[in-house]
Amino acid sequence: MLDKRIVLISAATAACALGIGFFMQPSATGSAAVNGDQLSQQTGVALPQEPALASPVAIEKITLTSAKPALVEAQEAASAEPTSVPEPCAMQVRGTALPGALVQLQVTAPCRARERITLHHQGMMVTETLDTTGQLDLIIPALSETATIIVEPVSLSPLAEAAVGAVAQVKVPDMAQVDRVVLQWGGNSGFEIHAREFGAQYGENGHVWHGADPAQESVGHLVRLGDASQLAPRLAEIYSFQRDVSPSPAEEGLIEISVEAEITQINCGREIAAQSLRVVQGRVQTRDLVLNMPDCSASGDFLVLNNLVENLKIAAK
């Protein structure tokens, strides 16, 4: 696995605010990219801009100009008297703070069994699926001391107000004790976060990633959110380091954070994009990344970006 890694050093080239999701309050923003001329010579990887990552456009007041008059009249009549959602069908959301700056999110929507929803929190967006009873129970790493989580139904319904979501707001008392790194992307782009704690090498104790051996020892932990079985899902990986629970209180040094993208038959030769959010002592920094993946002859290799997210510096207590 190591001999198939192509190391790319990313660098911040511009400062810009990345407006995504709801209630994002970044304290510092930027755009991370790999040097395009240098990469073109060495690996053939270029970094064009990504217009698809712009904030979504709201579409409203649509008029059927080519429909039959009767259909237009029926639509106007339905709009004039919107049908309310039956009380048993209303979506309910509850959030509970857990140790480690986590939030237990419980969603109940009895009339939305197996439907797709999108969760929004401080700029992080992930796609999830309600179970056969219209419920979801999920642990979410918080990104702010007052965690506001919006649950947005995606599926349309004949009920005029059925697409209305719900909001949970939770106080997270230990948020300042946790450093957190988020990587989010759409579809099967092959992205991964790798955290190597205090000099750990790949495969050793302290190498934290989603494919690590569960028996492997580490200080931080990683979770992956999102239902990858959905069509074009939003997915996220979150690495967390809680300073007050370290098994070695005097341990200090660097936690090296890298973002990797495996070249697969699905993403080879395509443009892929990701966004990172870094939370340190309650402050959020965001960066965006766009990559032109190598052709499919490189399948199985990994692109490694070492400076997309700043390493975590841990001081001795």
pLDDT tens digits for the chain (317 residues)? 444 555 554 333 222 333 323 232 333 334 333 433 433 334 444 433 333 433 443 333 333 333 444 444 444 544 444 445 566 888 999 999 999 999 999 999 999 999 999 999 999 999 999 999 999 999 999 999 999 999 999 754 454 444 678 999 999 999 988 989 999 999 888 899 999 999 899 989 999 999 898 888 888 999 999 999 999 999 999 999 987 665 554 467 888 999 999 999 999 999 999 999 988 766 788 889 888 899 999 999 998 887 777 778 776 55
Q: H-helix or E-strand containing 236?
A: strand 234-242
Q: Where are the beta strands (DSSP E) in 40-171?
A: 92-98, 102-108, 116-121, 124-129, 135-141, 146-153, 166-171
CA 152 – CA 93 distance, rounded (Å): 11
Please give the pLDDT value at position 14. Answer: 28
Please give the pLDDT value at position 314. Answer: 77
Please give the pLDDT value at position 11. Answer: 33
Q: Does this model's pTM top 0.75?
A: no
Class of domain 93-171: mainly beta
170-185 burial code (b ≥16 CB/10 A, e <16): bebebbebbbbbbbbb
Dihedral class, residue 56 (left if φ above 0, else alpha if ψ from -120 to 50, else beta): beta
* Phi (first) and psi of residue 150, to 5 degrees: -100, 130
Q: How far is CA 138 from CA 105, 228, 261, in A?
A: 5, 15, 26
Please give the pLDDT value at position 285. Answer: 83
CA 270 – CA 249 distance, rounded (Å): 45
Please give the pLDDT value at position 120. Answer: 96
Q: Quick one: DSSP state of residue 295? A: P
CB 202 within 8 A of CB 196: yes
CA 213 – CA 204 distance, rounded (Å): 10
CA 75 – CA 284 distance, rounded (Å): 45
Please give the pLDDT value at position 253. Answer: 81
Segments of the chain assigned to CATH 2.60.40.10? 93-171
